[in-house]
Amino acid sequence: MAIDVHAHVIVPELLRHDGAAESWRPQLRGRDGGTTVEIDGRTISSFVHDPASIDCLLNSQRARGIEHTLVSPWVPLLFAEHEADVAAARCDLQNEGLARLRERAPEAVSVLGAVTLKDPVLGARELRALMSSGFAGVEVPASVGGRYLGDPIFEPLWAAAEEEHALVFVHPTTRGFEDPVFAEHYLWNLVGNPVETTIAAAHLVMTGTVERHPGMRILLAHGGGAILALRGRLRHGQRAVKQAGARLAKPADQAIGSFLFDTVTHDPHVLRTLIEAVGRDQVLLGSDYPFDMGDPDPVGTVRAAGLGPDAECAILGGNAERLLGLAARVAS
């Protein structure tokens, strides 16, 4: 079956209703051709589908030939920049809603949760609890408070993720750069988002984080950004510049090859190059539902890449089925 590992939802438990004073809660408003979301005084208009409707999600996925979806929170609702007590309470609400969503459609939905990132020790405990309750893992932003994911502060979280065999989905914050140029021509999304993912991935590699935790399962959004294009540059830097390679005992290529990548590249030729470089077992189908920059036909994109039948089958669903333990779930 086809399994989408990159789709976002806003759980109803977090929604703000008319007249409510809690501006941190998203408020949805319909518009022609989509939905706007108001949150913290901002209006976001990049939603093509209603992000709070599970029926809309399931109907849209079925129409695109997708039978199972791994859903994760909308990134602003990871509460990564909030202090630990506030983030923990809000993440609890989020995770309760995600658990209910999964209970409603267990044959069609798996879930990634949110954990407290300003206190990674607490976040690690939360991750372990989520894994014991049937979550597939967690979603994390590329950086938290200016610290990228290879920072030593996040070591407890990575240790827990490795021990629990959790899938960790690394997604850009969507507002990672303050340069005014990113306000032009939608560049904050077109360029900024994949650049954030690239920096996070490179930081995880060059700090030795991936090497220290070889059992980690890290999924990079948007085809990994430009990390693959920088593979040779990182390899050369490791050899030629002491500062660059000081924390690595093995080639940087090896760590890059251990990442998982979604198919959200918007180009079958780029996707084929990615698959040829990292192997078919490291790439998973993704759509980036429900956003305007999502792939409207992710299954078609994979089929257009001209892969052999075994590789196509693995990427459309086989890899995700194995990682999420879906075959075992069906058997039980």
* pLDDT value of residue 104: 94
- Do residues 121 and 156 touch, judged by C-beta distance below 8 A? yes
* pLDDT value of residue 22: 86
Burial class (CB in 10 A: 0-12, 13-18, 19+), 117: buried
Does any domain span residue 80? yes
Distance CA 229, CA 308 (A): 24
Residue by residue, pLDDT tens for the chain (332 residues) are 899 999 999 999 999 876 567 889 999 988 776 789 999 989 999 999 999 999 999 999 999 999 999 999 999 999 999 999 999 999 999 999 999 999 999 999 999 999 999 999 999 999 999 999 999 999 999 999 999 999 999 999 999 999 999 999 999 998 889 899 999 999 999 999 999 999 999 999 999 999 999 999 999 999 999 999 999 999 999 999 999 999 999 999 999 999 999 999 999 999 999 999 999 999 999 999 999 999 999 999 999 999 999 999 999 999 999 999 997 555 44
Q: How many H-runs (helices) and E-runs (strands) does the chain carry?
A: 15, 13
Does any domain span residue 149? yes
- State phi, psi for 199 to the nearest 5 degrees: -65, -45
- Partnered with residue 119 across adjacent β-strands are none
At 110, which CATH number? 3.20.20.140
Does any domain span residue 30? no
Amino acid of residue 207: T
* pLDDT value of residue 34: 77
* pLDDT value of residue 35: 87
Distance CA 50, CA 67 (A): 19
Does any domain span residue 36? no
* pLDDT value of residue 176: 86
Q: How far is CA 142 from CA 110, 196, 216, 274, in A?
A: 22, 6, 16, 21
Does any domain span residue 269? yes
Domain span at 120: 3-9+69-289+298-323
Does any domain span residue 97? yes
Does any domain span residue 61? no
Does any domain span residue 329? no
> Domain count of the chain?
1
Distance CA 61, CA 65 (A): 6
- Do residues 306 and 272 touch, judged by C-beta distance below 8 A? yes
